[in-house]
Amino acid sequence: MTKSKYDKEKLVLVCALFVHAAKMDENYTDKEKLIILKALAEMTDNKESDNKIILKEAEEKESQSNQILEFTREVKNSEKNFRLKILEILWKIIYSDDVSDMYESNLMRRLNGLFYVSDKEAGDIRQSVINKKL
What are the structural domain ranges in the chain?
A: 8-133
Identify whether the C-beta of residue 95 lies closer than 8 Å to the C-beta of residue 133.
yes
What pTM was estimated for this model as a whole?
0.93
Residue of 74, 90, 87, 82 lying closest to 113 (CA atoms): 87
Q: How many residues does the chain have?
A: 134
**pLDDT beyond 80 at 114:** yes
Q: Which helix (H) or strand (E) holds 85?
A: helix 80-94
Q: Residue 133's pLDDT is what?
A: 82
For 10-59, the pLDDT digits (tens) are: 999 999 999 999 999 999 999 999 999 999 999 999 999 999 999 999 99
Q: Which CATH architecture has domain 8-133?
A: Orthogonal Bundle (1.10)
The rounded distance, in Å, linking the Cα atoms of 133 and 6 is 29
